[in-house]
Structure 1
Amino acid sequence: MNILKSFLFRAAAVRVALGQFCEHQWEGKFADHEVDGVPYLRARQDLAPPPLEIRPLIVNGPSSNRIDLIFFGDGYTEEEKDKFFDDALFLATNLTDGQTFVDILPVINFWAGFSPSVDSGIGTGGQPLDTVYGLYRVGTELRGVYYDKPQVARAACQSTDACDYPILLGNDPFYGGLGGTFTVVTASPNNGPAVLRHELGHSIIGVGEEYDGGTVYRGVNSARSPDSVPWTQWYTNPSTEPKIQRTNMPIQAYPWTLLNTSRSWSQTFTSAGTYDTHLLQFSVSGMTASSDLRVEIDGKDVGWEVNPAVGVDRFIYNMKIDEALAPGEHELTFTLLNEEIEGSAQLCNLEVLEYGNEAEFDSEPRYCGLYPTFSATNRTTYRPTNNLCLMRDMYSPDFCNACIEGLWLSLLGPLSLIENVTQAAQLTGLTKVTVNLLPLAEFRQVPNGHDEAYAILWYGADEDVVLEEWTNSTSALIGPDVTEFGVEVKFWTEQVRVDSNGVLVQKERFKVEQPGQ
């Protein structure tokens, strides 16, 4: 019996109707949760943390002025300690090696904290194993992974200075995760990085989904109406907006059903027949060959082929069909052809989307406008791009512009652009003051592909008078009779167009150090 079939048999006894929920349940940004006015992760509790062996993975500066993401391992026994650190490093490297979080990499650190579990793996059927944080799946679904011991995870986070965003890493090879107070991810080699990117979008930026069939649509990537859009600064063609891209979703479902060869799974849906093209999206698990499954619309094979890289893990397929659906009723059919994988072959979710013609629907990946998103109850909200953003397409490595802007503002908000200011007395009686900044813009060790710059202004005794000769210099000379000075730093990046709270500006005053101080 293969590992997936074993998992499904163990979990089959517990079936929960989760089809009405989104892909992964999540709780919103953890800072929104408070205990007696204190953010949840910082609220003290009388519980000893688990023993932790913490190792650095990617460190770009002191925790006092960086955002620390730390992996806490769950379901890794003492004998699997090396596996945990390898899994954590794989995920951290995948997120930052030229994609997704590479632009903000100088302001974040990644760590890994190991605590041995008694049992190896994570629970299924709603029952945690004997593990540190009690990760488990609800049923047979390869999606949400939940935690049973949030108080232990909070104690672990509080026991180290390197924990701004805790990530619970489950020792499990299959798709699954969760965003919110504790980001949850598994060690799936193909899906782990994709799920982690997505869930960190929830946890750090505080945004909801962009894919169809969810329940949480909010934040900088979501608009309830064309009259209230938070990303108007990113419109590709402002003169034509708001223009709703013409699309429709005639069917969307989460069957989570085990397939068998004796009977096909099918469902009918109705099309108005007024669209030019359509897309079939579905996800399956347990398939290892294209000959395992036939997928048809109205009896016509759509030509599905398996992604051989994922093995028996779940994978989401997108099949664009460049022809219109005729008006009336249609039938979508999934037929299992391989008896040997009965009991492990599963149809997870599906949907059909219809699109207008080129004048009605812009499919250019980076076009930013108003794209309808359809919730689990078919309520319509709007998102910035078609399929660019990883908050919609799990396998995209990119955030849309609205989300990357939100990421910058969320991460820089708690930090200081000014790392420190040093002073050195000169023989002339002057004082040389030098400002050290977060390693962005011209101070990046590895340049990124976006325009960035720092603007620096120096002030003398009068806090409103600029010392013009030192503008945009990291050092200035302060006269002998001046007792205090000021510096103002502005960080500019083309990835942020609206900074309503002034996150990218910092202005400080300092006293001039006297000899002997």
Structure 2
Amino acid sequence: MSHNGAGGPSQVILAPQQHEQGLRSGVEPPPLQVSSLITSGPSSNRVDLVFFSDGYTEEEYNKFIEDATRLAQDVSANQTFYTVKPLLNFWAAFSPSKEVARFFVVSVTPFGLYRDGTELRGLYSSKPDTALAACESLQDKCDYAILLGNDPLYGGLGGEFTTITSSLANGALVLRHELGHSIIDVGEEYDGGFAYFGVNAADTLSSVTWSHWLSDPDTPPREERSVSPLQAYPWTLLNTTTPFSTNFTSSGQYSQYLVKFSLSGVPEEKDLDVLLDGANLGWTPPRQDIGIDRWHYNLAGYSALSEGDHELQFILKNENTQGQAQLCSVEILEFGDDSEFNSGIGYYGAFPTFDLNNETTYRPTYEGCLMRSVTYPNFCKVCLEGLWLSLLKRVDLIDNVRESCIMKSASEVDSSTDQLWKKVLELDLVPLAQLRHNTIGFTESYKITWSTGGTTLEQFTNQTRIEVDDDMLSYDIDIVFSTNEVRKDDQGWLTASRSYSITETCG
């Protein structure tokens, strides 16, 4: 597996008119300078992800390559996509912008990325047909397009293509989350949305599809007891004159609560107080490098809220942050006691998720999935299994079967025949299991079976290279891949078969 850094990637200029496939969309793609970032195998048998530049000027080519390389390595080097990395290729496709992205002047960039007002949330393309045409023009080198905006703050979106920014704090986090939408084809797990579907969502307890991952598999899943008395997306700029205040009502029937919110433009603890019923909750930024970027916060209360009305306040204290300090989202959750709500790390059950109308669906874990929170680095086991199946649906475990000849040694020559040669068949598999270049700490294996004429050749079990007589025979090769990250494979995506016929003898 080769890893080409920003200092010396392979490059080629692609003229759009040379690509008939791209022209079928009816929109001409921009000229693209393509660089290989991470290569695991041939594009004809891999899933290829391409970063396309938006808001990078001609002089910022190196910055784009550095940003794309950082993001590709971040999501695949040691977490999230690292176990499936042998199934993926990453590319960077540069097209210069007239000026750095402003996310409002969309005419100066190839794909016209823009925000909705001051929101550090969705990042939209005003030229989606151009984005799709650019991906199509690369043919089998582009399965998923990632539009990378040259902006240091949070933003992104998943779907037919993925949008992200180069944010140092959030770029890779958002990329992981949005690729979950794009590749696994799942909806959200956080509250306050509208799209809940796929392997990580169930409308009812009886329709849970992850029963094979439940921590208590012999017991029908119960609803982990919780409620959301407040959820909102204010997207409001804070000021030092009037605190932001919102009220909610608690039934008083729950044992614990959690205050969840996200902020941008508030870099220091001294800039803001967060109060619940007049009591300071002790908000602090999680790390120094967040700066004015958006971040998500969870402040736990290990006691019951009293029955009745409550007030949550955000009080901006630093007037120098006015105009940038923004409350993005806020939510209150209440939970039953430990016998009613299992918040343990690694516990799989049925946890309520509350949409924007406060209607309930179910998810597999409490907070253990980046589809629930972008600050969590990995998929839950349910989504990770979905990732494997989504990728292997598009990748054949067998890359190639190669044939060659070698001469028999003197001791191998049979005087009763004229055969002086042997055939060598070599099997190129996607480098997983025992063929990985690096260990990953998970249990996985390949089972390889060779047969001819319906007879299994036991001596060649689990061999990728075999030596056979120089005869024109046909061989059947069956592959079964297993990993403890996949427990259910109804469609057989973790298997592969190939028939190979020898049509010429060596002699």
Q: TM-score, normalised by structure 2?
A: 0.90
Who is 1:436 aligned against?
A: 428
Match of 1:472 among 447, 462, 465: 462
Who is 1:514 aligned against?
A: 504
Q: Distance in 2 between matches of 1:506 and 1:216?
A: 34
Q: Offset at 1:45?
A: 2.4
**What is the identity, as a one-letter code, of the residue corresponding to 1:138?**
D
CA contact (8 A) 1:57 1:112 kept: yes
**What is the identity, as a one-letter code, of the residue corresponding to 1:158?**
E
Q: Distance in 2 between matches of 1:158 and 1:284?
A: 38
Q: Distance in 1 between matches of 2:391 and 2:22?
A: 18
Q: Are 1:146 and 2:124 counterparts?
A: yes
State how 1:387-466 maps to structure 2 within 5 Å. Answer: 387-425=367-405, 427=408, 428=419, 430-462=422-454, 465-466=455-456
Who is 2:108 aligned against?
A: 130
What secondary structure does 1:207 align onto? coil
**What is the identity, as a one-letter code, of the residue corresponding to 2:128?**
P
Q: Offset at 1:424?
A: 2.9
Who is 1:501 aligned against?
A: 491
Q: 1:233-260 CA distances to partner (integer Å, 9 max, x unpaired)?
A: 1011112331111111110000111111
Change (3 A) 1:181 1:146: same
Q: Offset at 1:155?
A: 2.1
Identity across the alignment (%):
48
Q: Distance in 1 between matches of 2:55 and 2:466?
A: 55
Q: Distance in 1 between matches of 2:488 and 2:61?
A: 44
Q: Distance in 2 between matches of 1:329 and 1:420?
A: 67
Runs (5+) with no aligned partner, structure 1:
1-40
Q: Distance in 2 between matches of 1:43 and 1:488?
A: 40
Q: Distance in 2 between matches of 1:468 and 1:191?
A: 52
Q: Offset at 1:394?
A: 0.8
Who is 1:381 aligned against?
A: 361
Q: Which has the larger radius of gyration?
A: 2
Q: Distance in 2 between matches of 1:179 and 1:48?
A: 23
Q: Offset at 1:278?
A: 0.8
Q: TM-score, normalised by structure 1?
A: 0.89
CA contact (8 A) 1:122 1:131 kept: no
CA contact (8 A) 2:22 2:29 kept: no
Q: 1:249-306 CA distances to partner (integer Å, 9 max, x unpaired)?
A: 1100001111111111111111111111111010111112111111111111111112
**What is the identity, as a one-letter code, of the residue corresponding to 2:120?**
L
Change (3 A) 1:502 1:328: same
Runs (5+) with no aligned partner, structure 2:
1-20, 409-418
What secondary structure does 2:403 align onto? strand
Who is 1:10 aligned against?
A: none
Who is 2:153 aligned against?
A: 174
Q: Distance in 1 between matches of 2:228 and 2:162?
A: 30
Match of 1:213 among 185, 189, 192: 192
**What is the identity, as a one-letter code, of the residue corresponding to 1:168?**
L
Q: Offset at 1:231?
A: 0.8
CA contact (8 A) 2:235 2:327 kept: yes
Q: Distance in 2 between matches of 1:42 and 1:454?
A: 38
**What is the identity, as a one-letter code, of the residue corresponding to 1:498?**
K
What secondary structure does 1:120 align onto? coil
Q: Offset at 1:185?
A: 0.2
Q: Distance in 1 between matches of 2:466 and 2:222?
A: 51
Q: Distance in 2 between matches of 1:222 and 1:514?
A: 54
Change (3 A) 1:261 1:185: same
Farther off after superposition, 381-390 or 53-62: 53-62
CA contact (8 A) 1:145 1:184 kept: yes
Q: Distance in 2 between matches of 1:424 and 1:172?
A: 53
**What is the identity, as a one-letter code, of the residue corresponding to 2:300?**
K
CA contact (8 A) 2:186 2:196 kept: yes
Q: Distance in 2 between matches of 1:350 and 1:279?
A: 11
**What is the identity, as a one-letter code, of the residue corresponding to 2:460?**
W
Q: Offset at 1:370?
A: 0.6
Who is 1:281 aligned against?
A: 260
State how 1:163-202 maps to structure 2 within 5 Å. Answer: 163-202=142-181
Who is 2:64 aligned against?
A: 84
Q: 1:355-400 CA distances to partner (integer Å, 9 max, x unpaired)?
A: 1111111111211111110000111000001101000011111100
CA contact (8 A) 2:22 2:28 kept: no
Q: Offset at 1:43?
A: 8.5
Q: Distance in 1 between matches of 2:378 and 2:344?
A: 15
Who is 2:183 aligned against?
A: 204
Q: Offset at 1:515?
A: 2.9
Q: Distance in 2 between matches of 1:482 and 1:42?
A: 43
Q: Distance in 2 between matches of 1:219 and 1:42?
A: 30
Q: 1:466-498 CA distances to partner (integer Å, 9 max, x unpaired)?
A: 222222222334455553110000110010011
Q: Distance in 1 between matches of 2:179 and 2:257?
A: 31
